[in-house]
């Protein structure tokens, strides 16, 4: 990582589209000095938005303390929480790193082995993620709102390139779960991630049916979720997430417009 604060900031700006980095950073600056919880939210926002990428080494405690205007003990407490919740890992003498998906704790659920399991996975997600979106609209903090916006902007930028955007999509859904204020929603999504990946591998035809109109529909669904949460419309957020997951299921099993399960 860069040795100076200014070069560190430049590296972060290069990690994601400029408007994303600026959006997250402006929120942090507006709320300084930060408490341990606020610093945790700010760092998690950067992780979920892709500002700190999987496998990337975080800035040192000294740089983080200077960048956010807090003491090093506050930085250590925020990093400890991120470590406990499996977002980062520490290496002796090297620092803290954003965990890669393959480094996550193995899922305790039985592996998906048939099409019926995929349907059950969607049924479970419909219940869990819809509720999380509704709670996010009620409980999200300003920092979490900006993290959601940043994650959504990153997803938009990726989809506009024609890429599948699976990683960016997971980060958006993670940001929704984080904003719910209930850590079990986020932990459940982490457990489900390998199963969702399996769904996508079992149905490769999805990647072969991409059209601009289908991508536009998926983008509109995510936008509806974001707008409802930002507006603190709990019922609207819950409905938008339910509609998104239901339509994603139809895209797989009935060929409805769209092309990937999230």
Tens digit of pLDDT at every position of the chain (262 positions):
444 433 333 333 333 333 333 343 434 334 434 578 889 888 988 887 778 888 899 999 999 999 999 999 999 999 998 888 778 998 887 899 998 765 555 446 666 656 777 788 889 999 999 999 999 999 999 999 999 999 999 999 988 887 767 788 889 999 999 999 999 999 899 888 877 776 665 554 444 456 777 788 889 999 999 999 999 999 999 999 999 999 888 877 765 544 444 5
CB 64 within 8 A of CB 77: no
Nearest to 134 by CA among 6, 239, 25, 17: 239
pLDDT at residue 3, rounded to an integer: 42
CB 165 within 8 A of CB 155: yes
pLDDT at residue 13, rounded to an integer: 36
pLDDT at residue 108, rounded to an integer: 61
97: three-class secondary structure by DSSP: strand
pLDDT at residue 113, rounded to an integer: 57
Nearest to 87 by CA among 231, 186, 20: 186
Pair of tokens at residue 84: 């406990």
CB 44 within 8 A of CB 87: yes
pLDDT at residue 227, rounded to an integer: 98
How much is the pTM? 0.59
Domains contained in the chain, CATH given: 5-103 (1.10.10.10), 115-253 (1.20.120.530)
Cis omega before residue 33 (within 30°)?
Answer: yes
pLDDT at residue 196, rounded to an integer: 76
3-class secondary structure per residue, 12-38 = HHHHCCHHHHHHHHHHHHHHCCCCHHH
Q: How far apart are CA 182 and CA 189, in angstroms?
A: 12
């Amino acid at each position: 990582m860069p040795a100076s604060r200014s070069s560190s900031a430049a590296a972060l700006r290069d990690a994601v589209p400029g408007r994303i980095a600026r959006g997250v950073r402006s929120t942090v600056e507006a709320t300084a000095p930060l408490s341990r919880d606020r610093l945790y939210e700010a760092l998690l926002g950067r992780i979920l938005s892709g500002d700190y990428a999987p496998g990337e080494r975080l800035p040192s405690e000294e740089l983080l303390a200077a960048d956010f205007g807090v003491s090093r003990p506050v930085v250590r407490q925020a990093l400890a929480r991120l470590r406990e919740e499996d977002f980062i890992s520490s290496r002796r003498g090297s620092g803290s790193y954003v965990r890669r998906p393959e480094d996550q704790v193995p899922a305790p659920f039985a592996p998906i082995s048939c099409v019926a399991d995929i349907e059950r996975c969607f049924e479970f997600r419909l219940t869990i993620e819809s509720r999380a979106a509704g709670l996010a609209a009620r409980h999200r903090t300003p920092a979490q709102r900006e993290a959601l916006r940043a994650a959504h902007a990153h997803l938009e930028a990726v989809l506009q390139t024609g890429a599948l955007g699976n990683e960016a999509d997971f980060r958006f859904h993670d940001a929704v779960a984080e904003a719910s204020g209930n850590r079990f929603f986020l932990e459940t999504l982490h457990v489900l991630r390998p199963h969702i990946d399996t769904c996508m591998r079992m149905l490769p035809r999805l990647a072969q049916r991409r059209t601009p109109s289908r991508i536009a529909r998926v983008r509109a669904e995510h936008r509806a979720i974001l707008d409802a949460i930002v507006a603190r419309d709990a019922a609207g957020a819950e409905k938008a997430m339910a509609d998104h997951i239901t339509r994603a299921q139809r895209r797989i099993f009935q060929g409805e417009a769209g092309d990937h399960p999230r």
